[in-house]
Structure 1
Amino acid sequence: MTSHFESPEIFADALKTAWSINSSTSWTAGNPAKGQCSVTSLVAQDLFGGEIVTTRTKGGTHFYNVIDGRRHDFTISQFDYEITFDDTPSSRAEAFTDTSGQQYAALRQALGLQTDASTR
């Protein structure tokens, strides 16, 4: 898991410019985190390990990560309301039902990461 992202906080900053319409069809310039939760949770797990977890929101299932026992919701800025976290265990397979291989590859590429199908 070697990368130029030394911490989840550095990764979070990089996401702001990496997200695009190519990584989520819900993306907008006004709300770049919108629809990015599943693809972002997958790439975060590639980099930092940990678990992918979910919670229910008004819009459906929301994916995020628990890394070293700490919750990291890299896409929380997409919500204009407070959410209650369930921390329901999930999986890569479940996260991939909410995104595509092309969106996953696009986000990895935008972050300067090699696209490696074995991480799927």
Structure 2
Amino acid sequence: MRNMKFKVNEIMDALSKSWSLESSSKWSENNPAKGQCGVTTLVVNDLLGGEICKTKLPDGWHFYNIINGNRYDFTASQFTDDIIYMDLSSDRGEAYEDTNGNQYNHLKQNMLINLNTYH
């Protein structure tokens, strides 16, 4: 799957269509990215590779992706304050602690369905 090329706007659009209560118990219509950072980071890593990084925020760790040297935080919209990124190295295991198998599988399957409309 990693060799498929997706544009950032395609990933963001597919994520916004894929996030739900099934991918994070913190999801809401008003804040669909809420609580989605770990699961989103894992699915984006599956699709595009790259590195998983984290930043410490008042409520805990926030996960995001570094792909080809560029930072992609697809769930930054859940926060009202600006994020000061630390770009601390993390891994799939640590990001997975922020989610569970059901949430991960749900988001990944929905992402594959929604991305299929682009290719």
Give the structure-1-normalised TM-score.
0.88
CA distance in 1 between partners of 2:33 and 2:3 (Å): 22
1:96 match: 96
Is 1:6 the counterpart of 2:6? The answer is yes
CA contact (8 A) 2:55 2:85 kept: yes
Q: How far apart, CA to CA, are the structure 1 residues paired with 2:13 and 2:98? A: 23
What residue ranges of structure 2 are gaps of 5+ in the alignment? 114-119
Partner of 2:116: none
The equivalent of 1:63 in structure 2 is 63
Displaced runs of 4 or more, over 4 A: 2-5
Shift of 1:8: 3.0
Secondary structure of residue in 2 paired with 1:112:
helix
Q: Gaps spanning 5+ residues in structure 1: where?
A: 114-120
Please state whether the residue corresponding to 1:54 is helix, strand or coil: strand
Change (3 A) 1:3 1:29: farther
Match of 1:118 in 2: none
Partner of 2:50: 50
> Cα distance 1:26–1:3, how it changes in 2: closer, same or farther (>3 A)?
farther
**Alpha-carbon shift at residue 54 of structure 1 (Å):** 0.1
1:78-118 deviation digits (Å, cap 9, x = unpaired)? 001111000000000001111001100000111135xxxxx
Q: Is it true that 1:109 corresponds to 2:97 in the alignment?
A: no
TM-score (ref. length: structure 2): 0.89
Contact between 2:3 and 2:48, CA under 8 Å: does it hold in 1?
no
RMSD over equivalenced CA pairs, Å: 1.5
Task: Give the drift of 1:5.
Answer: 5.9
Aligned counterparts, 1:6-45, within 5 A: 6-45=6-45
Matches of 2:29 and 2:4 in 1, distance apart?
A: 25
